[in-house]
Structure 1
Amino acid sequence: MAFIFLFILFLGNEAFSQPALTAQSAILVEAKRGKILFQKNIHQKMSPASITKIMTAILVLEKGNLDDWVITSKRAATREVGESAIWLEEGEEMTLRDLLYALLIKSANDAAVAAAEHISGSVEEFVKLMNKKAKDLGAFETHFSNPHGFYGKEHYSTAYDLSLIARYALKNPYFAQIVKTKKEIIPWEGHPWERVLINRNKLLWRYKWADGVKTGSTKEAGYCLVASATRSNFQLVSVVLKSKKVWADSISLLNYGFKSYQLKNLISKEEEVKTISLPLGKPRKLRLVSADRFEVVQRKDALSSEVEREIKLRKKMKIPIKKEEVMGRLAFKNRGKDLGGVSLIAATDIE
């Protein structure tokens, strides 16, 4: 028995041991709620490289019409040696939709500039939108100076802020669809062949649960990656910045998250919570049920008894009562810390 106990204990410690990373800064969060599962220098300001394009894509989706035709400017068609691009030519026309695919999948800087100019009239005005949106999302340690990620002293973010931005972006179904696309073909005006876009995120091939999101690399930023992966409706988002082993670091983080944490359902929608007696009305008993499903992210070794329930009912209950009328609230707590809760609603009409 002692041997079995020690063996289980060994497995448990192995599962919950935090990964050793080469990245200078990193974070792992649960996608929906943002619970931090791992952190390393998460508020250190770093160059985000092409991870910047997540914010560019957000604004393209929210401010633009994807069916618009965009005319490539001289600025968008100007490239530096080694720059990631789809080789747009001045005057070339392309839909905003195809530019969006190009900047997210191929990480094309020229596509990012063309899209930015189309949305705001100039790169400079678009950058203002980027910084405003960052603040709106709570990314207060972020400042952008371009839409593609070229290094600049005033172009920086943190692992924490980038996780906020990525989580927000993934809520958009079209964004989520694009960033998990391995290959896309878009037109190439004036050529007998088309542009073939191959996603630079190698995790889409190397990690079977991967479903996003964006790579980045410059001399100053090093290798960077925001990755997402989903298992059994449990989605994680990792950020690694200035990593020597960007793919291995990201996989280590995601594996740690899936092995150590789980999505725990505390109550289901319409689950009965309490039955109360009424002084008047028919019937005299009222069943209160949960208005929604409520889940929390918890370590797999956490005890169910650590989660406490607290019911607060409405002080005045007037008859009649309509079905689904809010009658109170069910709160969940862990060692005094509020985890959130759900409304309690009437299961039936009371006349």
Structure 2
Amino acid sequence: MRRLTQRLANATLVLLVALAATGATALTLTVPVRALADEGATQVYSAAQAPELSAQAAFLYDRTTGTVLLDKNAGERHYPASMTKVMTALVALEHANLTDEVTVEQADLDMITADSSNAGLRAGETLMVENLLACLLLPSGNESAYVLARHVAGDYQAFVDMMNSRAAELGCTGTHFVNPCGLHDDDHYTTAHDMALILSEAEKSADFVRISGSATWDLPETSMNPARTLKNTDLLVNPESNLYMDAVTCGKTGYTGDAGRCLAAGASKDGLDVVGVVMAAPESEGSTAAISNMHDLLSWGLSAWQTTSIVNAGDVLGTSAVRLSKDGEKLNVSAADAITATLPVGTTEDDLDVAFSWQGPLTAPVEAGQPLGTAAVSFQGRELATIGAVAAFGMRLSIPAFVMDWLSDPIHMVIVVVALVALFVLVGLLASRGSRRRQRDLRREHDRRRAQAAGRRVGAHYATPRKKR
């Protein structure tokens, strides 16, 4: 039976590859990702088929392009539990130095409940902010949240105000914090979408990524505690876990009875930089419910999608008709700019739709590289970008074609007829005027000659005779 299952799996894989090669599945190309040894088959992912998640809300998007890959009730409000600590860490990193030394006070410990997650901090011991952040993010120490809040703002209420202000700055519209650690409160909530914005901002800090992405953290000895090693509650960053993913760079778990299992995580692979959030995963699936959901979500996202330069400057986007050219009737139109987009694996330029900003054909002459307008590039109805469009080569003007085109306009034809009539009239007038002038000149010449002849006759009549000697 096992051998038969293997043969069927292999046949299925061959069929998928063959379909991809013929272009039958160009837009939903699937790729092998990881072997499921217990099933004896190869897991494949398609961008068109999102994973089925048990979490009530989930969100996955690419940080580079802002492309949303999955949205499952991402705008619904849910309790974030200890995912709250991502915002706590963000505000602390923005307002404190890693080398600041802070002494734990009893008031910090009084703020947490007996069943809260903690890092084992004791009143009177002094730690650097860097180590307090490790206590906050790895074992999810609630007391560390209050220590950091007091250090940054003087008291935790003022710190919470800073958290809410920062959330508003990031564009979070469904978020409100009441405390810095995530203990349940009906007025303490966020959304999967907002939590992704917060984690994405925190990822801009290399220190946040370094600390929250560590599987373990060596905490030095203090006056109240021996040296010890902290362990991260997020199994995705633990190489010894069967849920480990080397693409995961950072994250934060969360859990309360009201919130369910939650997780926010960042991951990067082959140019794809994603942030994922799952909220309210059912506790009935065990303590790793959110982690398993995230594993499926990231496996799909990182395998079925790609962030790539789908269009480069100089690439031919299409053709445009050209009038009055002696070099042909079609002109290649090239991209003036590049387009980086997040698209299903296997997508090519042939899968893109391009709409030029001009209507109808262009008119020669056109020079190579001449700006023609813009090109709106889209994929399956989603606009990717609008970029400049230029002529890929030059097109010379045909003078005969230009003349015939000009004459094809009735107005131009009327102008030509009127001009010709005017020309003929002018020529006639000039000819008539020349004829009259010649006749006048002839008459004048005739009169002059007659006058000269008459003068000679008169002169002869009155001539004085010569005297004889």
TM class by shorter chain equals 0.7 to 0.9
8 A contact 1:77–1:87 mirrored in 2? no
Could you tell me which residue of structure 1 aligns to residue 121 of structure 2?
Answer: 88
| Identity across the alignment (%) | 28
User: Which amino acid is the alignment partner of residue 269 of structure 2?
Assistant: R
Q: Is 1:340 aligned to 2:385, yes or no?
A: yes
Question: Equivalent of 2:345, from 279, 291, 300?
Answer: 300
Cα distance in 2 for residues equivalent to 1:6 and 1:120: 58
- In the alignment, what sits opposite 2:191? 158
Structure 2 gaps of 5+ residues are 1-13, 31-43, 239-243, 283-288, 317-333, 358-372, 390-469
Contact (CA 8 Å) 2:311, 2:335: kept in 1 or not?
no
- Length, aligned pairs only: 315
CA contact (8 A) 1:202 1:247 kept: yes
| Matching residue's letter, 1:120 | A
Q: Are the equivalent residues in 1 in contact too, given 2:29–2:345 (CA < 8 A)?
A: no
Q: 1:220 matched to which residue of 2?
A: 258
- Verify: 1:62 aligned to 2:94, yes or no: yes
Match of 1:141, SS state, is: coil
TM-score for the superposition, normalised by structure 1: 0.79
TM-score by length of 2: 0.60
Q: Deviations over 1:226-258 (max 9, x none)?
A: 122221121222111111322221111112112
Q: CA deviation at 1:82?
A: 2.5
Aligned to 1:259: 303
**Deviation readout 1:276-310 (Å, 9 max, x if unpaired):** xxxxxxxxxxxx9978x641101225442343668
Residues 311-338 of structure 1: CA deviation (Å, up to 9, x unaligned)? 99xxxxxxxxxxxxxxx98864446754
The one of 62, 81, 85 equivalent to 1:49 is: 81
Q: 1:191 to 1:67 in 2, by over 3 A?
A: same
Q: Deviations over 1:254-274 (max 9, x none)?
A: 121123211121356xx5579
SS in 2 for 1:106: coil
Mapped partners of 1:341, 1:69: distance in 2: 51
Rounded to whole Å, the distance in 2 between the matches of 1:5 and 1:250 is 26
Quote the residue 1:283 is aligned against: none
Aligned residues of 1:182 and 1:198 also touching (Cα < 8 A): yes
Distance 2:71 2:182 in 1: 23
Give the distance between the partners of 1:227 and 1:337, measured in 2 at CA. 26
* Contact 2:125–2:222, Cα closer than 8 Å, also in 1: yes
CA distance in 2, matches of 1:94, 1:70: 6
User: For residues 24 and 5 of structure 1, do their structure 2 counterparts lie closer, same or farther at Cα, with a shift above 3 Å needed?
Assistant: closer
Q: How far did 1:207 drift?
A: 1.9
**What's the counterpart of residue 141 of structure 2?**
108
Taking the aligned partners of 1:343 and 1:186, their CA distance within structure 2 comes to 55
Give the conservation status (yes or no) of the 8 Å contact 1:137–1:164.
Answer: yes
SS of structure 1 residue aligned to 2:273: strand
1:343 deviates by 8.7
Provide closer, same or farther for how the CA distance between residues 203 and 146 of structure 1 changes in structure 2, counting only shifts above 3 A: same
Higher-Rg structure is: 2
Structure with the larger RCO, 1 or 2 (CA within 8 Å, 6+ apart): 1
The answer to whether residue 179 in structure 2 is matched with residue 146 in structure 1 is yes
Matched with 2:68 is: 36
Instruction: Give the 3-state SS of the residue equivalent to 1:37 in structure 2.
Output: strand
Displacement of 1:131:
0.4
Higher helix share: 2
Change (3 A) 1:290 1:120: farther
Cα distance in structure 1, aligned partners of 2:374 and 2:339: 12
Quick one: distance in 1 between partners of 2:315 and 2:17? 40
Alignment root-mean-square deviation, CA: 3.2
Letter in 1 for 2:53: L
Indicate if the aligned counterparts of 1:76 and 1:88 stay in contact, CA closer than 8 A.
no
**Residue 184 of structure 1 contacts residue 196 of structure 1 at CA under 8 Å; is this kept in 2?**
yes
8 Å contact kept, 1:86–1:195: no
Would the alpha carbon gap of residues 120 and 160 (structure 1) be closer, same or farther in structure 2, given more than 3 Å must change?
same
Match of 1:133 in 2: 166
Which residue identity is paired with 2:93?
L
| Residue of structure 2 in register with 1:201 after alignment | 234
Alignment CA distance shift 1:219-1:335 (3 Å): closer
CA distance in 1, matches of 2:117, 2:356: 56
Change (3 A) 1:273 1:208: closer
Shift of 1:6: 9.6
> Matched residues in 2 for 1:4 and 1:96: separation?
56
The residue number in structure 2 matching 1:319 is none
Q: Which residue of 2 aligns with 1:322?
A: none
Distance in 1 of aligned mates of 2:387 and 2:209: 28
Q: 2:271–2:308: 8 Å Cα contact kept in structure 1?
A: no
2:270 aligned with 1:238: no
Q: What residue number does 1:15 align with?
A: 45
Instruction: Determine the structure 2 residue equivalent to 1:211.
Output: 249
CA–CA separation in structure 2 for the residues paired with 1:259 and 1:207: 13
Offset of 1:213 from its aligned partner?
Answer: 0.7
For each residue in 1:206-225, what CA deviation from the matched residue of structure 2 results, as whole angstroms up to 9, or x when unmatched?
22322221100111111111
Show structure 1 runs of 5+ residues with no match.
Answer: 275-287, 313-327, 345-351
Q: 1:305 to 1:88 in 2, by over 3 A?
A: same
Aligned with 2:78: secondary structure? coil
Q: Secondary structure at the match of 1:84?
A: coil
